[in-house]
């Protein structure tokens, strides 16, 4: 029953029919801002300490071994090798380029 009366008095004070008190309002705002700032500082200190000590923020993932297909790797190597031979042909002058603007 007491809680019901306290809530009713709180709602009555919040309503616009009460006398305004700027000092009280600013003090309340500053107190809540200071509490929020302290919470942010504590949270960031905890996160920093966790990361410095090698911890992880949130859930940790389990690493799985990658699966490689050898034939795919061989085809990639062959593609890069053919590109390298084409590049050397351009560098050594085996291919000539005629500039159409001249």
For the chain, the domains span 25-51
Measured in degrees and rounded to the nearest 5, phi and psi for residue 3 equal -65, -40
Confidence at residue 78, expressed as pLDDT on a 0 to 100 scale: 95
Rg (CA), the chain: 35
Predicted TM-score of the model (pTM): 0.43
pLDDT digits (tens, 9 = 90+) for 55-73: 888 777 777 777 778 888 8
Checking if the pLDDT of 94 tops 60, the result is yes
The average pLDDT across 30-40 equals 97
Tokens of 57: 């923020």
CA distance 83 to 47: 48
User: 43: which 2 tokens?
Assistant: 């949270």
Averaged over 20-42, what is the pLDDT? 92
User: pLDDT confidence of 15, banded at 50, 70, 90?
Assistant: low
- 18 and 12 in contact (C-beta within 8 Å)? yes
- Averaged pLDDT score across all residues of the chain: 84
């Amino acid at each position: 029953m007491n809680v019901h009366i306290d809530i009713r008095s709180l709602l009555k004070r919040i309503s616009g029919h009460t006398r305004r008190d700027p000092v009280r309002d600013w003090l309340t705002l500053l107190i809540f801002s200071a509490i929020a700032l302290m919470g942010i500082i504590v949270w960031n200190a905890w996160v920093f300490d966790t990361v410095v000590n090698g911890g992880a923020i949130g859930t940790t993932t389990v690493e799985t071994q990658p699966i490689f297909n050898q034939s795919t790797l061989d085809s990639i190597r062959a593609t890069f090798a053919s590109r390298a031979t084409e590049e050397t042909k351009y560098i050594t002058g085996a291919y000539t380029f005629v500039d159409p603007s001249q």
